[in-house]
Structure 1
């Protein structure tokens, strides 16, 4: 018998361990308190020239523009060194061991 899956049932609100780990790294490298909101999301892109999967870190500070950082690897594969480099560089961050396949900056 196939178990019933209810697509309308509420989903768990727990934060995946990899997201929590990345948020902790961001706070440690910048030294921000808990009142700064940090979001970590894995984005899948099917457009030409776009990486298949990337991790986007959003940093939201009151009365300041939101800063978004892209790390071009799945959330489970993000390392602390990736976060440190991304925080130092504006815009996109490509891990040094990844091969470039597109022409964008």
Structure 2
């Protein structure tokens, strides 16, 4: 029973962490309430690939979805890294 409770608590903490990260990305990207962002962490087993990568999908209303891949876990992604990745996207869009 304790194990089950811990899993729910860990899941809740993970969701809070992910939600806070989404808010950071939304703020940095200048997203509006009409836009959306998703965040995923994936394990990469390919040689030369980071063990855990963060994938960000930006869904701006009326525009194609854009993907950003960062070679670090969510907890290690800095605002500067987000800004740099978004700058690359902006150059591709422009």
Q: TM-score, normalised by structure 2?
A: 0.70
Q: Which runs of 4+ in 1 moved over 4 A?
A: 2-5, 12-15
Is the 8 Å Cα contact of residues 22 and 83 (structure 1) preserved in structure 2? Answer: no
Aligned residue pairs: how many? Answer: 83
CA RMSD of aligned residues (A): 2.5
**Unmatched tracts of structure 1, length 5 or more:** 6-11, 91-105
1:36-68 Cα offsets, whole Å, 9 max, x none, are 110010010112222211101001123321100
Distance change >3 Å, CA 13–CA 61, structure 1 → 2:
farther
Give unpaired runs (5+ residues) of structure 2.
Answer: 5-10, 90-94
Q: 1:1-105 counterparts in 2 under 5 A? A: 16-90=15-89
Provide the TM-score with structure 1 as the length reference: 0.64
More helix as a share of residues: 2
